[in-house]
Amino acid sequence: MSFDVQAVRAQFPILDQEVWGRSLVYLDNAATTHKPLAVLEAVDAYYRHDNSNVHRGVHALSQRATEAYEAGRDAVRAYLNAPASREIVFTRGTTEAINLVASSWGGDHVGPDDEILLTAMEHHSNIVPWQLLAGRTGARLRVARVDERGVLDLDHWASLVGPRTRIAAAVHVSNALGTVNPIREMVRIAHDRGVPVLVDGAQAVPHGLVDVQDLGCDFYALSGHKAYGPTGIGALWGRHELLDAMKPYQGGGEMILSVTFEETVYARVPTRFEAGTPHIAGGVGLGAALRWLSALGPDRVAAHEADLLAYATRQLQGIDRVRIVGEAPHKAAVLSFVIDGIHPHDVGTILDREGVAVRTGHHCAQPVLECMGLNATTRASFAAYNTRDDVDRLVAGIHRVIEVLG
């Protein structure tokens, strides 16, 4: 079955607008994706008809809200192929999910002179929480190298898994380079030495099915807004035996079985990690987004995006002074580049005037850009609703940048 991108685009009202008098070309999807009607309508219906607090009420609205919210949790489970919905913890996003593991699991398992293994291409969200943990405990970070193409040095990763390694954490898809890491092999290497692995899946989830059982990892973190869902909602998947042994990340209402001034008995997972009134509409919207993406066919979306990436790569390679940053043989739909002699912020500003939205800067991945000898790039990133015409507009915009700035 062919991929009908125009039918997909019709489900995104925000794309039907002009910016600076030009039709919008949105190529900032690695930062956040737009929302299809299925998500907008699900969130609207919740607030119009079912708005109530969850889990605690016996009245009809509370029961309907609870059912919709928990249906969102099960949609995450299904999309990740997790064994059970109780292994899905709702968070504000990937960042909070990683902080949860670093604080709760790390607080009990990481001590002085222990080691935490990362890669050089991590987003700041998968660096700073581990730095904070290391600062509290006296542990240290070890970092696996990335070569000039943006490919992880797997032998170096393996060499850094040692007797003091307590946990490894790695990005599935680099937001700055588009590199798809060999997670299965990385997990196998770590597990051979008894080291659990957390995967930052923020950029992987929207580009194809993520099967946590196939990957073999121990924790998987994701953000809803990068997968066509609302902002402020995400999830952590963790093996039940690990989650069940972890202390709460935050305290408050809902995450308890009983409270006295002398003692608190905590609820079972995942409720133990979801203190306070949750982002109910976010959970509803995330569920709608993942069901929409599943129905569309993540493999078909991935193939469509791969075609766009290949087409855009060929086009940019033909432009003098343009250098693509990140040329791993296995990439997702991210294309970062620099133009010799022109700052990325200036590139982004002129492209915006041409109606083309891209991201410029360090992309919250400063260490990997430093490995490439750069402070910033311009990044175009693709989604299910992008077209080859969008790529052509990007290319024309780059020519305009060079014409204007010389």
- Collapsing DSSP states into helix, strand and coil, what is residue 113? coil
For 20, phi then psi, to 5°, come to 55, 35
Q: Looking at the chain, how many residues does it have?
A: 406
Question: Cα(273)–Cα(90) distance, rounded to whole angstroms?
Answer: 8
**Residues contacting 321, CB < 8 A, separation 6+:** 339, 340, 341, 342, 402
Q: At residue 99, what is the residue type?
A: N
Q: How far out from the chain centre does Cα 333 lie? A: 13
364 assigned to active site: yes
Catalytic residue selected from 364, 374, 396, 405: 364
Q: Is the dihedral of CA 163, 124, 92, 275 positive or negative?
A: positive
Question: Cα(328)–Cα(179) distance, rounded to whole angstroms?
Answer: 6
Question: Cα(258)–Cα(276) distance, rounded to whole angstroms?
Answer: 15
- Collapsing DSSP states into helix, strand and coil, what is residue 193? coil
Q: Can you list the positions of beta strands (E) in 94-164?
A: 115-119, 140-144
Question: Cα(383)–Cα(203) distance, rounded to whole angstroms?
Answer: 11
List the catalytic residues.
364
